[in-house]
Amino acid sequence: MIRSSITRRRLLGTAAGSASAIASGAFVSPARAQSTQRTYVLVPGAYYGAWSWHRVTERLQRQGHRVYPLTLTGLAERSHLLSKDITLDTHIADIANLVEWEDLTDICLVAHSYGGCPASGALERIGSRVSSIVWVDAIKPADGQSFRDLVPFPIEEGAISRPAPKALPPTAFNDPKDVAWVLSKVTPHPVGTFLQPIKLTGAREKVAKKTYIRLPKFQLAAMDKAAAECRADSSWTVLENTTSGHSIMIVEPDWLTDVLTKAA
């Protein structure tokens, strides 16, 4: 069962009935959403790269949208750049530089999991270019917090990275082929990005349209906290999908694509 909790009411048009049970009236209709070209920047979570967004990227592009899935420095096809010098500022620059060098405007910035940290920081530079954000089971740090403050974990002395997972929880994916594919793609994550406190002045909160997607099959206090904060803030729309694991862009790309076209 998929539930949605709408905390921001803005009349954007009559929403078509949907199997995903997104509340009527909170988003534009699929036909209208697909008729307008949007620009999406997709930020992956820890250990992931642009590859994790392939299914959603293909679906959005088929609808005529411009899509920029990112791989952050030191990961996936950029894993050869892994070093002790990579910090959260590096990943913030990855996002902001893409937007600035590609001259992108009116962006829907989408962040998954850890990606909520660098995406929050990037908004301090590119906030004027972003018209909407979608946090997909993503971290929502406050000023001065690091990822590790919100998601505590031990660190080996002298380590420059956190090892990629070698196994995945049974609830993470429905298809064993997806498990094998993901495990073949994940790479160690630069540990410095987890440790650096973020500097925020409120740019994230100034974005006009904000959506948070909570995936409670993935049990993590930091995500529960983020969703609760968004529910308490009428400027956010909060959706909950109870059937997908944490990597919804892989598990349920149709559902996520539908939400993104309406949330942009």
- Could you read off the pLDDT of 103-116 as tens digits, one per residue? 999 999 999 999 99
Q: What tokens appear for 43 in the block?
A: 């930020």
The whole-chain average pLDDT of the chain stands at 89
pLDDT above 80: residue 29: no
Q: What tokens appear for 204 in the block?
A: 């994230």
Portion of the chain with pLDDT greater than 70, in percent? 87
How confident is the model at residue 10, as a pLDDT? 35
How confident is the model at residue 7, as a pLDDT? 42
In angstroms, the CA 257 to CA 261 distance is 6
pLDDT above 70: residue 9: no
- Could you read off the pLDDT of 212-233 as tens digits, one per residue? 999 999 999 999 999 999 999 9
**30-263: which CATH number, 3.40.50.1820, 3.40.50.150, 3.30.70.870, 3.30.43.10?**
3.40.50.1820
How confident is the model at residue 35, as a pLDDT? 55
How confident is the model at residue 244, as a pLDDT? 97
In angstroms, the CA 7 to CA 24 distance is 13
Residue type, 27: F
How confident is the model at residue 176, as a pLDDT? 94
- Could you read off the pLDDT of 181-209 as tens digits, one per residue? 999 999 999 999 999 999 999 999 999 99
In angstroms, the CA 216 to CA 205 distance is 24
User: Which helix (H) or strand (E) covers residue 132, if one does?
Assistant: strand 130-136
In terms of pTM, does the model score above 0.85? Answer: yes
How confident is the model at residue 155, as a pLDDT? 87
Distance of CA 163 to the CA centre of its chain: 21
- 209 forms beta bridges with 132
Please state the rounded mean pLDDT for residues 49-70: 98
- Could you read off the pLDDT of 126-183 as tens digits, one per residue? 999 999 999 999 999 999 999 999 999 998 889 999 999 999 988 899 999 999 999 9
